Amino acid sequence: MLKLLQSVVHRDLLLAMRRRSDVANAVLFFVIVVSLFPFGVGPEVNLLRAVAPGVVWVAALLASMLALNRLFAADHADGSLEQMLITPAPLSVIVFGKVAAHWLLTGVPLVALAPVLAVQFDMPNDAMLVLVTSLALGTPVLSLIGAIGAALTLGARGAGVLTALLVLPLYIPVLILGAGAVDAAGAGLDASAHLMLLGALLLFALACSLWPIAAALRIAVE
Amino acid sequence: MTQPTREAATMRTSTDLAWGTPRRWSIFQFSSPQTFFPLAGKMVPYFAALALVLGAVGLYIGLFVAPTDAQQGDAYRIIFIHVAAAWMSMFIYVVMAFWAGMCLVFNTRLSGMMATALAPTGALFTFIALWTGSLWGKPTWGTWWVWDARLTSELILLFLYFGFIALHAAIEDARRADRAAAVLALVGVVNVPIIYFSVKWWNTLHQGASVSLTSAPTMAATMFTGMIVMAFAFWMYTIAAALARVRSIILERERHADWVAEYARSRG
* pLDDT tens for each residue of A45-92: 999 999 999 999 999 999 999 889 888 988 998 899 999 999 999 999
Which pLDDT belongs to residue B186? 96
Q: Taking CB atoms and an 8 Å cutoff, what residues of chain B touch A162?
A: 166-167, 170
Report the percentage of chain B scoring pLDDT > 70.
Answer: 85
* pLDDT tens for each residue of B167-200: 999 998 999 999 999 999 999 999 988 988 888 8
Interface TM-score (ipTM) > 0.85: yes
Residue B192 touches chain A, beta carbons under 8 Å: no
Residue B199 touches chain A, beta carbons under 8 Å: yes
Residue A173 touches chain B, beta carbons under 8 Å: yes
DSSP-based three-state secondary structure for B73? strand
Domain boundaries, chain A: 2-220
Domain boundaries, chain B: 78-213+221-250
The pLDDT averaged over each successive group of 10 residues in chain A (222 residues) is 93 90 88 93 91 94 90 90 92 95 94 93 92 96 95 85 92 94 91 94 95 94 84
Decide if pLDDT at B15 tops 70. Answer: no
Decide if pLDDT at B147 tops 90. Answer: no
- Separation of alpha carbons B114 and A103, rounded Å: 37
Decide if pLDDT at B217 tops 50. Answer: no
Q: Taking CB atoms and an 8 Å cutoff, what residues of chain B touch A204?
A: 194
Which pLDDT belongs to residue A97? 95
Residue B137 touches chain A, beta carbons under 8 Å: no
Q: Which long-range contacts (CB under 8 A, 24 or more apart) does A10-17 make?
A: A11/A101, A12/A97, A12/A98, A12/A101, A12/A102, A12/A105, A13/A101, A13/A104, A13/A105, A15/A74, A16/A70, A16/A101, A16/A105
Q: How confident is the model at residue B209 (pLDDT cuts 50, 70, 90)?
A: very low
B167/chain A closest Cα distance in angstroms:
7
Decide if pLDDT at B59 tops 70. Answer: yes
Please indicate whether, in this complex, the C-beta atoms of A216 and B183 are within 8 angstroms of each other: yes
Q: Taking CB atoms and an 8 Å cutoff, what residues of chain B touch A201?
A: 194
- Separation of alpha carbons B28 and B6, rounded Å: 7
Decide if pLDDT at B5 tops 80. Answer: no
Please indicate whether, in this complex, the C-beta atoms of A219 and B188 are within 8 angstroms of each other: no
B247 or A155, greater pLDDT = B247
Distant-in-sequence, close-in-space partners of B212: CB < 8 Å, separation ≥ 6:
none
B264 or B76, greater pLDDT = B264
- Separation of alpha carbons B166 and B160, rounded Å: 10
Contact criterion met (CB below 8 Å) for A106 and A143: yes
* pLDDT, averaged across chain A: 92
Q: Taking CB atoms and an 8 Å cutoff, what residues of chain B touch A212?
A: 183, 186-187
Decide if pLDDT at B245 tops 80. Answer: yes
With residue B66 as reference, give the H or E element that holds it. Answer: none
Rounded CA Rg of chain A: 18
Please indicate whether, in this complex, the C-beta atoms of B170 and A169 are within 8 angstroms of each other: no
Mean pLDDT, range B33-51, rounded to an integer: 94
Report the percentage of chain B scoring pLDDT > 90.
Answer: 54
The highest-confidence range among B64-68, B73-77, B234-238, by mean pLDDT, is: B234-238
DSSP-based three-state secondary structure for B25? coil
Which pLDDT belongs to residue B21? 55
- Separation of alpha carbons A121 and A128, rounded Å: 11
Residue from B147, B156, B171 whose CB has the most chain A CBs within 10 Å, to mutate: B171
Residue A222 touches chain B, beta carbons under 8 Å: yes
CA dihedral B244, B249, B255, B258 (to 10 degrees): -50
Please indicate whether, in this complex, the C-beta atoms of A166 and B163 are within 8 angstroms of each other: yes
Decide if pLDDT at B122 tops 90. Answer: yes
pTM over 0.95: no
